[in-house]
């Protein structure tokens, strides 16, 4: 019945029916709770969703991570950090499957530009001994890179290698991008060479990051050399590969240089 009301858009009625059933001693199953929490958060009824979550604690109903993820993600995205934190604290005390929960909070904070909170979640995962794979490290590298904190990205990149988590192509690309954002083409170049020495084959995104690093640092000839390297590797440059270099030329007022020969033919612009 609760599910049917939710599907009809009668969220308020579904909530009151659920609460009435709970008051009357009817059992509350995880599937119904999951459906209701999902609909409540989608319709901005956060307090009602929180009431159900806390009610499950009091009623000894063991919810799955999907329910908690849905609630915590919605709370964080709506800026209700206290509500998300209260559930998070309860989860730690119950030793639930924290890895996925932490990853959700970590990603929402990172994508939302709250780097300090993302770093806090990452540190919490480490302290709790939760498994942190390359994907999570790469996400953190991306967050640091976009924030322009290449020092933190570099420390993390080295730390993952020390722990035996070997960077894959995406991790290398993220590190090159982090240096590109900070206009450190020399360090980006070192990572690029390390990547090749580790047997990782640079792809289109690798070259895009490297070209951006050179362009941001005004090393235009090296950016053009990187484009030639792409061609030699059998990778066809696309418009984004040229745009970083062209924009750099235009910023310098070098109009003639911005008219790269054959750029349109190479990328199909």
Percent of the chain surpassing pLDDT 90: 24
Residues 84 and 122 in one domain: yes
- Rounded to 10°, the helix 115-127/98-111 angle is 160
Tokens of 170: 């995406």
What average pLDDT does the segment 81-105 reach? 61
Task: Name the more confident of 232 and 35.
Answer: 232
Residues 108 and 205 in one domain: no
pLDDT at 41 over 70: yes
Q: How far is the first Cα of the chain from the last one, in angstroms, to the nearest whole number? A: 56
Label residue 55 exposed, middle or buried (CB < 10 Å: 0-12, 13-18, 19+).
middle
Percent of the chain surpassing pLDDT 70: 71
189-199 per-position pLDDT tens digit: 999 999 999 99
- Using CA atoms of 206, 208, 209, 210 in order, give the dihedral in degrees to the nearest 10: 80
Residues 76 and 113 in one domain: yes
Domain CATH for 80: 1.25.40.10
Residues 125 and 177 in one domain: no
Average pLDDT value over all residues in the chain: 78
What average pLDDT does the segment 223-236 reach? 89
pLDDT at 242 over 90: no
Structural domains of the chain, count:
2
Sign of CA dihedral 220, 222, 223, 225: positive
Angle (CA) 75 77 78, round 5°: 65
132, 162, 183 - which closes a domain: 132
Most confident of 31-35, 44-48, 147-151: 147-151
Residues 114 and 157 in one domain: no
Residues 211 and 105 in one domain: no
What average pLDDT does the segment 154-181 reach? 93
What average pLDDT does the segment 218-229 reach? 85
Model-wide pTM > 0.75: no
Name the residue range of residue 237's domain: 148-269
> Does residue 140 lie in a domain region?
no
């Amino acid at each position: 019945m609760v599910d049917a009301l939710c599907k009809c858009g009668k969220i308020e009625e579904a909530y009151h029916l659920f609460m009435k059933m709970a008051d009357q001693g009817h059992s509350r199953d995880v599937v119904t709770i999951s459906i209701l929490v999902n609909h409540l958060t989608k319709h901005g009824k956060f307090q009602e969703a929180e009431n159900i979550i806390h009610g499950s604690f009091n009623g000894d109903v063991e919810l799955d991570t999907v329910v908690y993820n849905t609630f915590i993600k919605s709370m964080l995205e709506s800026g209700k950090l206290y509500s998300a934190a209260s559930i998070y604290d309860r989860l730690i005390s119950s030793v639930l499957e924290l890895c996925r929960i932490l990853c959700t909070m970590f990603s929402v904070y990172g994508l939302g530009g709250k780097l300090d909170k993302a770093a806090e979640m990452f540190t919490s995962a480490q302290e709790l001994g939760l498994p942190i794979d390359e994907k999570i490290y790469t996400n953190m590298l991306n967050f640091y890179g976009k924030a322009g904190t290449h020092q933190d990205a570099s420390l993390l990149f080295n730390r993952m290698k020390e722990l035996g988590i070997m960077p894959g192509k995406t991790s290398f690309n993220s590190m090159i991008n982090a240096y590109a954002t900070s206009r450190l083409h020399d360090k980006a170049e070192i990572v690029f060479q390390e990547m090749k020495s580790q047997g990782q084959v640079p792809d289109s995104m690798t070259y895009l990051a490297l070209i951006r690093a050179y362009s941001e640092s005004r090393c235009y000839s090296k950016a053009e050399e990187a484009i030639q390297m792409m061609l030699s590797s059998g990778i066809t440059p696309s418009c984004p590969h040229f745009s970083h270099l062209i924009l750099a030329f235009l910023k310098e007022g070098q109009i003639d240089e911005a008219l790269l020969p054959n750029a349109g033919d190479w990328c199909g612009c």
